[in-house]
Amino acid sequence: MILIKEVSSKKEMKAFVKFPFSLYKNHPYWVPPIINDELASLDKNINPVFKHAEVKFLLAYKSGKIVGRVAAIINWTEVNTQKISKMRFGWYDIIDDIEVSKALLNRVHEIGKNNNLEFVEGPVGFSNLDKVGVLIEGYDYLGTMITWYNHPYYVTHLETLGFKKEKQWLESIIEFKDIDPTKFTRFSKLISQRFELTAKRFTSTDELMPYVDEMFDLFNDTYKTLSSFVPISEDEKSYFKKKYIHLIDPNFIKFVMDKDDKMIAFAITLPSFSRALQKAKGKLYPFGIFHLLQARKKSDEIIFYLIGVNEKYQNKGVTAIIFDEFYKSCKARGIKRLIRTPELDENEAIHLLWKDFNPLIHKRRRTYRQDIS
């Protein structure tokens, strides 16, 4: 018999966060989160997303042992403002027992039905800056800190239970040695002169911080046409600044400004913390923080996290400025590999940006949908 229980205590919340540590123990490609950071991101008193999102954290028990988990999420901005009647689910992890998946997802359906929602979709997070999708290809590649990893049987469970493909994302690898800078260096100078644009460079986090809110505004404006987009609120901007900015090497954030010093393009990369997080095993202390700091300074891989260009400047070659700036920073740092985070396969504009870099698509991930009856 499978028992589904809603998390109602700090002890159960910690069990919810720690369940994947047993499911993926010693797995070579799974990247664990820092437990306290994960607890904070799921804490209704800390993460401002809960001001407009309602979440029930569910645990599945069999013979008294935890065998699965899921977060049942309603983003009320999405439902009420965007009129998308969606019941989300995320943080979906289960043993290879389809009855566990069925019991957890049936409860998600019940919550959606009780709230008069029309369909269920997942795995997704609370917003566009959260993790997304179940991995369908690329199981033998190391994960990243901003993606979920899963066993292949997750897909089998979802499809057997009647879930259908909804959206798909691609991830790819670019080897730095294969990049030909002549494809953008000269063009960068021409575009800068033609449109009176300048690249903003940073050497410290203090220099960077005054521009972060403007970057989030541009992010909201750039991505608003995508089918999965939910805008980032003012409170969420502050939260993400605190959560992520300290992880970023300021040399790897690039802004492009117009003649009036208004931001018209941005790009953010993160050092790869994957190996460091595996060594940390979910804990910052005593040694985890050392591994993360070393990765921040010395990782020879970077994760291309976000890129955005003002609509007025799209298709005008502005990304040549960004690529030129990144090439210089990567070369100085000795970067060997760039990893692109999940990008919607319907986002043709973003894929065209990379066509001259010989990207190797190494992972595909997908969300699944089922109507609520």
Judge if 144 and 165 occupy the same domain.
yes
Q: Where are the beta strands (DSSP E) in 76-140?
A: 86-94, 119-122, 134-137
Judge if 160 and 212 occupy the same domain.
no
Judge if 323 and 275 occupy the same domain.
yes
**Position 371 in a domain:** no
Confidence of residue 314 (pLDDT cuts 50, 70, 90): confident
Calculate mean pLDDT across residues 23-43: 96
**Position 370 in a domain:** no
**Position 115 in a domain:** yes
**Strand 119-122 with 86-94, pairing:** parallel
For residue 231, pLDDT beyond 80: no
Judge if 166 and 113 occupy the same domain.
yes
For residue 347, pLDDT beyond 80: no
The better pLDDT of the pair 139, 48 is held by 139
Percent of the chain at pLDDT > 90 equals 69
Structure tokens at 49: 């997303």
> Which residues, at least 6 apart from 80, have a Cβ–Cβ distance to it below 8 Å?
none
What is the total count of domains within the chain?
Answer: 2
Confidence of residue 248 (pLDDT cuts 50, 70, 90): confident
Judge if 228 and 112 occupy the same domain.
no
Per-residue model confidence (pLDDT) at position 161: 98
Judge if 326 and 209 occupy the same domain.
yes
CA atoms within 13 A on the CB side of 205: 8
Confidence of residue 226 (pLDDT cuts 50, 70, 90): low
Calculate mean pLDDT across residues 83-98: 97
Q: Which of 93-102, 205-214, 219-228, 343-352 has the lowest mean pLDDT?
A: 219-228
Judge if 119 and 231 occupy the same domain.
no
Distance CA 23, CA 34 (A): 16
Judge if 222 and 354 occupy the same domain.
yes
The average confidence (pLDDT) of the chain is: 92
Calculate mean pLDDT across residues 240-245: 74
**Position 113 in a domain:** yes
**Position 281 in a domain:** yes
Task: Report pLDDT digits (tens) over 266-288.
Answer: 998 889 999 999 999 999 998 89
End-to-end alpha carbon distance in the chain:
25
For residue 352, pLDDT beyond 80: no
Per-residue model confidence (pLDDT) at position 228: 60
Per-residue model confidence (pLDDT) at position 268: 87
**Position 328 in a domain:** yes
Per-residue model confidence (pLDDT) at position 113: 97
Judge if 346 and 214 occupy the same domain.
yes
Calculate mean pLDDT across residues 193-219: 89
Per-residue model confidence (pLDDT) at position 203: 84
Task: Report pLDDT digits (tens) over 317-342.
Answer: 999 999 999 999 999 999 999 999 89
Calculate mean pLDDT across residues 305-322: 89
Judge if 166 and 178 occupy the same domain.
no
Judge if 229 and 337 occupy the same domain.
yes
**Position 372 in a domain:** no
Segments forming the whole domain that contains residue 72: 6-170
Q: Which of 65-74, 79-88, 121-130, 239-248 has the lowest mean pLDDT?
A: 239-248
- The amino acid sitting at 283 is K
Per-residue model confidence (pLDDT) at position 227: 60
Distance CA 109, CA 128 (A): 22
Domain boundary at 140, 170, 200, which?
Answer: 170
**Which CATH number belongs to the domain containing residue 134 in this structure?**
3.40.630.30
Confidence of residue 245 (pLDDT cuts 50, 70, 90): confident
Distance CA 42, CA 235 (A): 15
Domain boundary at 124, 144, 170, which?
Answer: 170
User: What secondary structure does DSSP assign to 156-195, as a single string?
Assistant: HHHHHTT-EEEEEEEEEEEEGGG--GGGTHHHHHHHHHHH
Distance CA 280, CA 348 (A): 37
Per-residue model confidence (pLDDT) at position 22: 97
Calculate mean pLDDT across residues 31-50: 94
Judge if 205 and 146 occupy the same domain.
no
For residue 107, pLDDT beyond 90: yes
Per-residue model confidence (pLDDT) at position 331: 93
**Position 1 in a domain:** no
Task: Report pLDDT digits (tens) over 170-184.
Answer: 999 999 999 999 888
Domain boundary at 135, 170, 205, which?
Answer: 170
Structure tokens at 320: 């040549």
